[in-house]
């Protein structure tokens, strides 16, 4: 081995504290970088697999297009795989146990459908020929005597309305008098080979037929629905889909969005953009971690290089020692950091996967994703950073520090002008620390640097994650409720017979209702309007606006008033016509192809009085039948006083109104007769439920068994992707913060401990010349308080600044979040870590043998 390599290797071995500190720093930074890159990549791939699990692995499907056109699409060579569904027909069930599902609906599918669409086999096996069928689980539940292994004889025909139109699974059952099955085919024996979950891409909640699947062995695409999965979808999507007429194609929008194919709702793009910002933060942090870990021993290093220089080592040779040292460290630590980073993420993903599947109704699938490119860039980045960090001190020493170093007084470089004059009599310990602080300026700098960096990184990451969570929540436009139910009975009957029982169903966590009705017109007094509102109305040549009554539950109204700090009694007094109103208009401004929506406040004052040209039921019918009639002057006028409130932060049942443009008067139900002449006939109810599927089934059961005529809708199903995404982003940002905090805590521990251990000799000298233990502890205390104070002040101000800057990476309208909790956590951890490492350092120095310490680790 060359003498240079020997020196490098021996120095690493010999200077244990310094090598350990450097090694830990490098290791942590590689780990951090790996973990973050792998997390982001896994987030993206998890979103994709989660979407595939719920929506299927296909990009679009076509229906009703001739075989030739399908072949034309396939001939482009850009389609990786197709799957087909052929609608065989309906068979009527004799004595159906569910009146709304009197049919079996038979679809013959290609084998590939089982890979491309989310069909979940619960029991049994897949069909292997046209005579074998899979039954859906709800059929098996409704008809318990039919089992796997049984055979059934069925003949299928067309489901047609009386008028002769063919009906599909998309129209609900209209009764024997309105529809029937025609052109029955021959009877065949079908063998039941398996049970699947309901086939929700064919069958809805209201579809009249249970969907059973058999294998379609016919080639050709005539009369089939064809699903396509593309090769390289990003490049080929538009080319392929443009072949098919728009009316016969539909897309897997969720998958296109997470794969970053569709431009407008390009979720992937946004996540990647967020990740890039995060990567920048992490890169800065890792760089500082690594360079810091070298800076810890910078003066020791400079001394060694200077020594070599003085006995005639060339610049090249000195740089060689640096390269060797960096390479030795990289060879061991980069692979270790990579492995541990990937391991960390793999471990957390698998444990989170278990937790989520055990405790949540969401179908999240986690997939670890690493690729060679990412690994390679981490390695390259890590090696260059290590080299650079090691070079800087070497270059410095080669340049100018030789003499100073050889004189062994390199640290005595206090600029006299800058030295603070002691203002008052200080204790010897304080003075010692003060002097040290100036003398060992460089050595202190990196500890403070490391503390500040950690704090800022932690706060920045957490505020970034909260911004991301808010952003994703807002951009996803989730509803505040999961299930909606509309009834057309009068308000009182609806509430007593439908709303109350439904809201008590197990699993409903919040509920509410409102009943709205067009109440008539307000004729404006122009002076009450805001400038933009008068402009808006004058542009339209109008001086009036419709008003709707929104009746709500008394108790919920009271709690709303309490939240708004208003006196409820004023609004529930029949002699005083007072209401709460929402009065905003969303004005659309079109410029070219773009349009923007601007929300305008209608009234200037927060409290306004106006007259309503009231319409009763008869007026309303008149108005609906002739909505173009310019202005209807009804007989009755109602004068009301209204408090204008904001559209934000309304309760569940009113959350729809947060988008409502126009004037809405919110009135408690007790005040109905004061404001209206007739009882409203429509009630909308809103329910929140974690497990919306189960709750929906329970509600449906209640409605059918009580013969309630109502429209029930599980609106959350349509938001599954959004919910999954939000949950994913939330989970990943938690893991993120945990990883970042662990790494930061370790790195701060590393630097503070190393700083003391490397300077052990200084302290030992102090002890050897007779400093008392008490005095020594006091010195350490001063020193650490100084670290703490300086870094907390710097850290806090930088954290504020960075949190504030980060908000702009989302949108200017994003409100500034100061992660107070996290700042407090960061402060407490810094104090705790400092205390812990101080205790350890004191213990270490006090228990070590003085002579040993004096003699070893002189570099």
Partner 1 sequence: MNIIEIIALTKSYGAEERKVTALDAVTFSVTKGEFLAIVGQSGSGKSTLLHLLAGLDRPDCGSVFVDGVDIFTLKGDSLAEYRRRQIGIIYQFYNLIPVLTVEENVTLPVRLDNKKVDKKRLADLLSMLNLSDRKTHLPNQLSGGQQQRTAIARALFFEPMIILADEPTGNLDTNNSNDIINYLARLNKEFSQTILLITHDEKIASRAGRVVTLSDGKIIKDVRN
Nearest residue (CB) to partner 1, 313 versus 721? 313
Q: Nearest distance from residue 736's CB to partner 1, in Å?
A: 41
Is 14 a binding residue for partner 1 by CB under 8 A? The answer is yes
Nearest residue (CB) to partner 1, 316 versus 540? 316
Is 2 a binding residue for partner 1 by CB under 8 A? The answer is yes
Q: Nearest distance from residue 447's CB to partner 1, in Å?
A: 25
Q: Which of residues 287-306 bind partner 1 (CB under 8 A)?
A: 304
Nearest residue (CB) to partner 1, 402 versus 667? 402
Nearest residue (CB) to partner 1, 101 versus 303? 303
Answer for which of 402, 472, 519, 806 binds partner 1 (CB under 8 A) is 402
**Cα separation of 479 and 510, whole Å?**
13
Distances from the Cα of 654 to the Cαs of 479, 640, 779, in angstroms?
11, 21, 63
How many other CB atoms sit within 10 Å of the CB of residue 235?
Answer: 12
Burial of 820 (0-12, 13-18, 19+ CB in 10 A): exposed
Is 308 a binding residue for partner 1 by CB under 8 A? The answer is yes
Query: Do residues 571 and 580 make contact, with C-beta atoms less than 8 angstroms apart?
Result: yes
Answer for which of 314, 331, 559, 821 binds partner 1 (CB under 8 A) is 314
Query: Do residues 328 and 15 make contact, with C-beta atoms less than 8 angstroms apart?
Result: no
**Cα separation of 266 and 338, whole Å?**
30
**Cα separation of 730 and 753, whole Å?**
34
Nearest residue (CB) to partner 1, 3 versus 846? 3
Is 6 a binding residue for partner 1 by CB under 8 A? The answer is yes
Binding segment toward partner 1, per CB under 8 A, in 58-66, 369-377, 406-414, 573-581:
406-414
Helix (H) or strand (E) holding 199: none
Helix (H) or strand (E) holding 839: helix 820-847
The encoded tokens of residue 735 equal: 């893991």
CA 27 from chain center: how many Å? 29
Answer for which of 164, 312, 627, 770 binds partner 1 (CB under 8 A) is 312
Is 570 a binding residue for partner 1 by CB under 8 A? The answer is no
Query: Do residues 597 and 634 make contact, with C-beta atoms less than 8 angstroms apart?
Result: no
Answer for which of 5, 307, 478, 632 binds partner 1 (CB under 8 A) is 307
Q: Nearest distance from residue 415's CB to partner 1, in Å?
A: 11
Is 13 a binding residue for partner 1 by CB under 8 A? The answer is yes
Answer for which of 95, 177, 359, 408 binds partner 1 (CB under 8 A) is 408
**Cα separation of 48 and 43, whole Å?**
9
Is 849 a binding residue for partner 1 by CB under 8 A? The answer is no
Answer for which of 264, 358, 359, 407 binds partner 1 (CB under 8 A) is 407
Q: Nearest distance from residue 316's CB to partner 1, in Å?
A: 7
Q: Nearest distance from residue 318's CB to partner 1, in Å?
A: 9
Q: Nearest distance from residue 445's CB to partner 1, in Å?
A: 24
Q: Which of residues 707-746 bind partner 1 (CB under 8 A)?
A: none
Q: Nearest distance from residue 319's CB to partner 1, in Å?
A: 12
Binding segment toward partner 1, per CB under 8 A, in 1-9, 55-63, 591-599, 760-768:
1-9
**Cα separation of 736 and 640, whole Å?**
54
Nearest residue (CB) to partner 1, 11 versus 50? 11
Is 496 a binding residue for partner 1 by CB under 8 A? The answer is no
Q: Nearest distance from residue 841's CB to partner 1, in Å?
A: 22
Q: Nearest distance from residue 755's CB to partner 1, in Å?
A: 20
Q: Residues 334, 338, 340, CA angle at the centre, nearest 5°?
A: 115
Q: Which of residues 332-361 bind partner 1 (CB under 8 A)?
A: none
Is 851 a binding residue for partner 1 by CB under 8 A? The answer is no
SS3 632: coil
What is the Cβ-side half-sphere exposure of residue 836, based on CA atoms within 13 angstroms? Answer: 12
CA 424 from chain center: how many Å? 56
Answer for which of 161, 245, 248, 310 binds partner 1 (CB under 8 A) is 310
**Cα separation of 852 and 840, whole Å?**
19
Q: Nearest distance from residue 410's CB to partner 1, in Å?
A: 12
- Using the 8-state DSSP alphabet, how is residue 261 labeled? -
Q: Nearest distance from residue 357's CB to partner 1, in Å?
A: 55
Nearest residue (CB) to partner 1, 416 versus 540? 416
Number of H helices, E strands in the chain: 27, 22
Binding mask 188-227 for partner 1 (x = CB under 8 A): ----------------------------------------
- CB neighbour list of residue 72: distance below 8 Å, 6 or more residues apart: 243
Q: Strand pairing partners for 665?
A: 549, 581
Closest CA to 455 of 23, 739, 756, 793: 793
Distances from the Cα of 800 to the Cαs of 277, 362, 823, in angstroms?
17, 36, 10
Answer for which of 234, 315, 399, 636 binds partner 1 (CB under 8 A) is 315
Binding segment toward partner 1, per CB under 8 A, in 61-69, 307-315, 549-557, 602-610:
307-315
Helix (H) or strand (E) holding 697: helix 692-705
Is 23 a binding residue for partner 1 by CB under 8 A? The answer is no
User: Count of residues binding partner 1 (CB under 8 A)?
Assistant: 31
Is 515 a binding residue for partner 1 by CB under 8 A? The answer is no
SS3 547: strand
- CB neighbour list of residue 670: distance below 8 Å, 6 or more residues apart: 554, 572
Q: Which of residues 414-433 bind partner 1 (CB under 8 A)?
A: 416
Contacts with partner 1 by CB under 8 A lie at: 2-4, 6-7, 10-11, 13-14, 304, 307-317, 402-403, 406-408, 416, 855-856, 858-859
């Amino acid at each position: 081995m060359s003498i240079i390599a020997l020196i490098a290797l021996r120095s690493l071995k010999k200077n244990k504290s310094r090598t350990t500190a450097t090694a830990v720093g490098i290791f942590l930074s590689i780990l951090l970088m790996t973990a973050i890159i792998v997390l982001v990549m896994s987030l993206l791939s998890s979103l994709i697999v989660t979407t595939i699990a719920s929506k299927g692995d296909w990009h679009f499907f076509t229906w009703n297009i001739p075989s030739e056109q399908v072949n034309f699409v396939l001939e482009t060579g850009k389609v990786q795989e197709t799957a087909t569904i052929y609608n065989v027909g309906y068979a009527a069930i004799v004595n159906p146990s569910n009146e709304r599902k009197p049919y079996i609906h038979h679809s013959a599918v290609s084998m590939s459908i089982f890979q491309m669409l989310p069909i979940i086999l619960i029991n049994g096996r897949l069909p292997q020929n046209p005579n074998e069928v899979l039954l859906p689980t709800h059929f098996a539940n409704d008809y318990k005597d039919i089992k796997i292994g049984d055979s059934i004889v069925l003949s299928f025909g067309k489901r047609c309305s009386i008028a002769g139109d063919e009906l599909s699974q998309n129209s609900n059952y209209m009764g024997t008098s309105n529809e029937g099955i025609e052109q029955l085919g021959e009877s065949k024996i079908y063998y039941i080979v398996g049970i699947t979950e309901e086939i929700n891409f064919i069958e809805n909640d209201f579809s009249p037929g249970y969907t059973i699947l058999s294998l379609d062995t016919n080639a050709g695409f005539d009369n089939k629905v064809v699903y396509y999965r593309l090769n390289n979808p990003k490049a080929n999507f538009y080319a392929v889909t443009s072949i098919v007429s728009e009316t016969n194609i539909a897309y897997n929008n969720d998958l296109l969005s997470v794969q970053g194919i569709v431009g407008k709702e390009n979720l992937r793009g946004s996540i990647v953009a967020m990740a890039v910002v995060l990567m920048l933060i992490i890169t800065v942090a890792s760089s500082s971690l690594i360079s810091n870990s070298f800076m810890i021993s910078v003066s020791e290093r400079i001394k060694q290089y200077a020594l070599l220089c003085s006995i005639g080592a060339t610049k090249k040779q000195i740089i060689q020692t640096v390269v060797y040292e960096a390479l030795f460290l990289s060879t061991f630590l980069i692979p270790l950091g990579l492995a541990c980073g990937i391991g960390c993420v793999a471990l957390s993903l698998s444990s989170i996967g278990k937790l989520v599947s055990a405790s949540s109704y969401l179908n999240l699938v986690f997939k670890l994703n690493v690729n060679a490119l990412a690994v390679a860039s981490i390695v390259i980045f890590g090696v260059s950073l290590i080299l650079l960090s090691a070079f800087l001190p070497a270059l410095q020493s080669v340049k100018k520090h030789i003499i100073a170093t050889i004189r062994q007084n390199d640290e005595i470089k206090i600029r006299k002008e800058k030295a603070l004059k002691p203002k008052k009599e200080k204790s010897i310990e304080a003075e010692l620390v003060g002097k040290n602080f100036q003398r060992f300026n460089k050595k202190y700098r990196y500890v403070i640097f490391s503390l500040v960096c950690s704090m800022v990184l932690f706060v920045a990451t957490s505020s970034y994650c909260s911004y991301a969570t808010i952003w994703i929540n807002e951009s996803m436009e989730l509803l505040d409720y999961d299930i909606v139910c509309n009834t057309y009975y009068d308000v009182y009957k609806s509430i007593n017979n439908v709303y109350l029982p439904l809201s008590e169903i197990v699993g409903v966590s919040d509920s509410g209702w409102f009943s709205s009705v067009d109440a008539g017109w307000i004729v404006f007094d122009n002076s009450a309007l805001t400038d933009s509102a008068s402009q808006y109305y004058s542009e339209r040549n109008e001086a009036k606006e419709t008003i709707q009554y929104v009746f709500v539950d008394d108790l919920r109204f009271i709690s709303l008033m309490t939240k708004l700090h208003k006196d409820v009694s004023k609004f529930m007094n029949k002699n005083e016509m007072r209401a709460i109103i929402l009065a905003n208009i969303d004005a659309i401004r079109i410029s070219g192809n773009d349009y923007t929506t601007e929300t305008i406040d209608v009234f200037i004052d927060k409290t306004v009085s106006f007259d309503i040209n009231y319409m009763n039921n008869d007026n309303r019918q008149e108005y609906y039948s002739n909505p173009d009639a310019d202005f209807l002057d009804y007989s009755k006028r109602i004068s009301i006083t209204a408090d204008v409130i904001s559209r934000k932060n309304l309760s569940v049942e009113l959350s729809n109104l947060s988008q409502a443009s126009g004037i809405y008067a919110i009135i408690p139900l007790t005040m109905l007769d004061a404001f209206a002449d007739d009882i409203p006939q429509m009630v909308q109810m809103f329910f929140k439920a974690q497990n919306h599927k189960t709750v929906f089934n329970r509600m449906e059961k209640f409605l059918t068994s009580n013969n309630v005529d109502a429209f029930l809708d599980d609106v959350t199903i349509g938001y599954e992707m959004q919910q999954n995404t939000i949950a994913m982003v939330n989970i990943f940002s938690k893991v993120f913060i945990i990883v970042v905090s662990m790494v930061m805590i370790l790195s701060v521990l590393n630097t503070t401990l190393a700083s003391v251990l490397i300077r052990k000799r200084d302290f030992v000298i102090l002890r050897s010349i007779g400093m008392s233990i008490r005095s020594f502890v006091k010195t350490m205390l001063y020193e650490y308080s100084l670290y703490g104070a300086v870094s907390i002040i710097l850290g806090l101000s930088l954290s504020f600044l960075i949190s504030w800057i980060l908000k702009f990476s989302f949108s200017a309208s994003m409100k500034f979040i100061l992660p107070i909790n996290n700042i407090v956590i960061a402060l407490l951890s810094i104090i705790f870590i400092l205390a812990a490492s101080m205790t350890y350092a004191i213990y270490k120095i006090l228990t070590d043998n003085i002579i040993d310490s004096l003699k070893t680790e002189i570099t």
